Amino acid sequence: MAEAGRLIYFERWIDPRAGELFRGENAVEMQRITRDDPGDVIEAAFLDACWYQLSSTRGDIPEPFRVNDRLLQRSPNLLAVSTHGAGYDTVDLEACTRAGVIAVNQAGGNLEAVAEHTLGLMLMLSKRAIEADLHMRRERGWVRSDFTGHDLTGKTAGLIGLGNVGGRVADLLRLAFSMRVVALDPYVEDDTFAEHGVERVTLERLLEESDFVSVHCPRTPETEWMLGPAEFARMKPSAYVVNTARGGILDEYALAEALAAGRPAGAGIDVWDIEPPALDHPLLALDNVIATPHIAGVTVEARQQMAVYAVEQWRAIWRGERPPRILNPEVWPKYLERRAAILG
């Protein structure tokens, strides 16, 4: 085995650029595993692996390949896991911490892509572009005023989460459309709010005052189902909901009922609790919903950048350096002890 052990990656790198950058890498032995591999091959791979790369998206990763207590018990030498994107829905962070395994992501790699997709959904919703397109394609008898929309300029956007993407969305909305931006994020300092020109508010105020409510936080036990019937009822009838973060943060079925009742006015949903959603999902039946299949961060540029981030971060880890995007920094001392015992 190579000096730094073996890295296994599930099915593919997020972009071929990663494979090109790793060409000639001698520090580790690399092995691709797939869902179709024989069971004994998979078991042997995890038994020996020190490093594991996988997708951030639950729909991409079958349950037996997700990082949780069961997988960690099968992987006694595992030291670090890395997800392709900013999300880490496929990794149980608490289980990693208990096992002394560091977890990293590629936060910021798809920053521009997700921020642009968010603005695109806001624009299409406010201009009612998709509704108009659907009616033009399937019927006659409407008049242009049936699709009267709204300007973004001067409106209020409420951001749930002011991390990398939320901060970029705030900057774009303020600079491009002179929008007032308010946000909820208990983990971000006041200086960051001031840097982006954003007002810190409670969830109640955010919902009541915003013309757009946009989700930019991770899915955690704290944020799961944080937007439900009561929250939608607080919103303006003219407001829109946008989610480009993670499924399971808002209650999709409660949202469908609220939209059918006329509050809020519409929604742009890129991420879903179950991906892809069933064809009979109630949100897909509504013309005032723009549905995309978790593609906000899927651009050529974003994928290349995340591949570069992943490669650079792995190389830092193999050199014994603390990685820049570690998700569970409290485990670092225990990780170092395990690393010394496993790699010498």
Q: Which domains, and CATH codes, for the chain?
A: 6-109+300-343 (3.40.50.720), 111-291 (3.40.50.720)
| 275 given a catalytic annotation | yes
Mean pLDDT of all residues belonging to the chain:
96
In this predicted model, what pLDDT tens digit does every residue of 267-286 receive, in sequence order? Answer: 999 999 999 999 999 999 99
Which of the four pLDDT bands, split at 50, 70 and 90, describes residue 100?
Answer: very high
CA atoms within 13 A on the CB side of 57: 18
From 117, 216, 246, 338, the catalytic residue: 246
In this predicted model, what pLDDT tens digit does every residue of 112-167 receive, in sequence order? Answer: 999 999 999 999 999 999 999 999 999 999 999 999 999 999 999 999 999 999 99
| 168 given a catalytic annotation | no
Q: Is the pTM of this model over 0.75?
A: yes
Mean pLDDT of 80-109: 95
Which of the four pLDDT bands, split at 50, 70 and 90, describes residue 59?
Answer: confident
From 294, 303, 338, 339, the catalytic residue: 294
From 11, 195, 224, 275, the catalytic residue: 275
Compute the Cα dihedral for 328, 333, 337, 343 and give only its sign: positive
Helix (H, G, I), strand (E, B) or coil at 240: strand
What pLDDT, on the 0 to 100 scale, is given for residue 210? Answer: 98
| 131 given a catalytic annotation | no
Cα 58 to Cα 49, 55, 169, 247, 283, distances in angstroms: 21, 8, 25, 10, 20
